[in-house]
Amino acid sequence: MAKKKELARANSLKNKGVGIPVITHKELLDQKELIQKISISDITEPKVHDRKSYSKEDISSLAKNIKATKMLLQPIVVRKVDDKYERIIGFRRIKAVQELGWKEIPAIILKDISDEEAMLIMLSENIQRENLNVYDQTVGIMEYIGLAFDMSFDEVKKLLYHFRNVDSKTIASDPEKSEAQRERMESITQKLGNISVASLINRLKVFSLKEIILEALKEGKVSYTAATELNKIADDQKIKKFIGALASGQCSIKDIKSFLKEQKKQSTPAHKAIKYKLEKRDDGVSLSINDNLSDSQLKKLEKFLAQL
Amino acid sequence: MAEIITVANQKGGVSKTATCRYIADICVTQGKKVLLIDFDPQASLTKGFQLDPKLFEGVNQANICNIFSQEIVQAVNVADEDSDDVLHLIPSNRELGIVGQGNIIGKDLMLRKFIKKNKLAEVYDIIIIDNNPKFDTMTINTILASNIIVIPVITTKDEQEGLHGFFQNTEETLSTFDHEIKKMVIIPSRYNKATKVHKVYLKIIQEDALDYIETSCPTISESEVFVSKAVPEKVAFQDASSYDMSVYEFLKEYGPKSSMKKEKREKLLSLLEEIVKNIIK
């Protein structure tokens, strides 16, 4: 008791701007966030979806920075699962220090963290980071919704498609079923990534992207808007060329759009067969044309008639 | 205002940490409020309280490196359970050795600034700082934060000559930063009166140290400089450290179990008390 009083005194002094906070040895060990060196080989990957793709150059430059400062300024975040540590935050840092040959890494070890909490920490960290690609972000948010709604990933996808169809009025909404869910989902997506359910629905296109486009999106070579435009191109070779040009900054989305426009024009045949009807009559032939003709077509026709 | 004592010597193994511990314990026994600061990246003082330095690495409220960014640093209560004693420790860790190499403006004055900013001299009666066995930014920091320098030294030729280097560095630090200290106390430590070399060099240190300071260190000689009584090398020191205790605490609590006779124990205890009294008086 006496000891507690003394600590309370020290800490109350601290509030007056005098002295520093004092904790006991036990409190130190019981701290919810314990920072400790852990062995990298004890770190396991999270069960849920996180970033799966990364650029080697990015990791190398991070490794260089860490090498220069000789320490990790920010520890990674893990939670204890059995005798292993499940990574929550710090994918790039782990890769970088592994490159430097470190065996240990400083980590914040969170105690008593539920799956949902762990995922929320992971996602809010990742989603707020600019460089996480739209695909990983979308999958992450959907997995979190799945966890919160107790649904499988496919069920979440289905529900989102359902919302999309309601939005586009192709099906009638079922107020009892979906409105409350939608509201709850809205609060989750706002909390996680500051995006609306509507924009999440809009992002469902990531699941219909061609493999090469999806890869480029994950690697950060193309933006999400560019990816959806590219997906409209049929020719894979052409797509590859565009990805290369987009990544090197030699072309923009505008160029893809004008390419698509051009292609559309070409696919509508310029020289339509002229629909006409020739009828034999006593005084010659009658010609009836049921299409508006362009100037050049008219000229051709005149030439033809003259020949006759 | 608290006395701020730095226990330093650029030589290792001269019992700096043990000295910190017994000064702290004697002061606590007298009812004084004591703060220990482990300013050695090797963290032997921290380990001596059965604290794992790794616990304090990285982004951590109790990371002593926060001193260099003038952020808050937590202290750990290391007093006996259920006692009214005030004995707090700012633990150290390996990173302290790295942070000091960084390019920080005024990095030599960070500890002083930290103590001042948090008004630690008002909260505690005694602040004791342990050092690494070097003379670097860390040592300069502790000297510039203190008003008393305590130098444990071993009574051999090498150590006696090494002392000159330490005096010179201290002189330069004090004069460069225009910092005044109140007192410099040299404590011959781990003294074995049966060893002839020890006997000879104790005498040399007693005469030569003061002489050297008088002639070569004008800034130091403005303060009170003296050589204390020698602290004998006793098994009790090792016993105490294996119990993670100061020799003072060990002799008081486990004395009867130690190999020392009661009379000798009491003699050692009162010798340490006398030394501390002379430092703090």
Q: Report which residue type is found at A255.
A: D
Q: Tell me what pLDDT residue A26 has.
A: 76
Residue recorded with tokens 């107020």: A175
CA distance A127 to A82: 28
* Residue numbers in B near A2 (CB within 8 A): 82-84
For residue B269, how far is the Cα from the chain centroid?
18
Q: What is the ipTM of this complex?
A: 0.79
Q: How far is B75 from chain A (nearest CA, A)?
A: 5
The Cα diameter of chain A in Å comes to: 127
* Residue numbers in A near B60 (CB within 8 A): 35
A78-100 in b/e form (b: 16+ CB < 10 A) is: bbbeeeebbbbbbbbbbbbbbbe
- State the sign of the Cα–Cα–Cα–Cα dihedral A214, A217, A218, A224: negative
* Residue numbers in A near B32 (CB within 8 A): none
* Residue numbers in A near B76 (CB within 8 A): 22-25, 28
Answer whether A34 touches B (CB < 8 Å). Answer: yes
CA distance B276 to B281: 8
Q: Are B268 and B232 in contact (CB under 8 A)?
A: yes
Would you state the structure tokens that stand for residue B15, as one six-digit string?
A: 């019992």
Euclidean distance between the first and final Cα of chain A, in Å?
120
Answer yes or no: do B54 and A34 touch at CB < 8 A.
Answer: no
Residues of chain A with pLDDT under 70: 1-17, 29-34, 48-53, 73, 126-131, 173-177, 193, 267-280, 285, 290-293, 308
CA distance B263 to A158: 87
Answer whether A111 touches B (CB < 8 Å). Answer: no
Answer whether B74 touches A (CB < 8 Å). Answer: yes
| C-alpha torsion A119→A125→A129→A134, nearest 10 | 10
Q: Tell me what pLDDT residue A278 has.
A: 65
Answer whether B96 touches A (CB < 8 Å). Answer: no
Distances (CA, A) of A99 to A34, B37, B115: 25, 36, 40
Q: Are B129 and B6 in contact (CB under 8 A)?
A: yes
Answer yes or no: do B119 and A17 touch at CB < 8 A.
Answer: yes
Q: Tell me what pLDDT residue A13 has.
A: 60
Q: What is the DSSP string of B108-173?
A: GGHHHHHHHHTTHHHH-SEEEEE--SS-SHHHHHHHHH-SEEEEEEESSHHHHHHHHHHHHHHHHH
Nearest by CB to residue B98, choosing from A17, A36, A71, is A71
Q: Tell me what pLDDT residue B9 has.
A: 95
Would you state the structure tokens that stand for residue B274, as one six-digit string?
A: 């006398």
User: Nearest-CA residue of chain A relative to B71?
Assistant: A20
The residues, any chain, with a CB within 8 Å of residue A203's CB and separated by 6 or more, are A134, A138, A224
Q: How far is A206 from chain B (nearest CA, A)?
A: 38
Q: How far is A107 from chain B (nearest CA, A)?
A: 8
CA distance B236 to B260: 8
Q: How far is B58 from chain A (nearest CA, A)?
A: 6
Q: How far is A109 from chain B (nearest CA, A)?
A: 11
Q: Tell me what pLDDT residue B192 has.
A: 92
Three-class SS state of A11 = helix
pTM value is 0.58
For chain B, 281 residues long, give each residue's pLDDT as a single digit of tens: 899 999 999 998 899 999 999 999 999 999 999 999 999 999 999 999 989 888 888 767 788 988 988 788 889 999 987 888 999 999 999 888 888 776 778 889 999 999 999 999 999 999 999 999 999 999 999 999 999 999 999 999 989 888 999 999 999 999 999 999 999 999 999 999 899 999 999 999 999 999 999 999 999 999 999 999 999 998 888 888 888 888 998 888 887 777 788 888 899 999 999 999 999 98
A209-225 in b/e form (b: 16+ CB < 10 A) is: beeebbebbbeebbbbe
Task: Report which DSSP code applies to B75.
Answer: E
Interface probe, candidates A12, A15, A22, A33, chain B, greatest B C-beta count within 10 A: A22
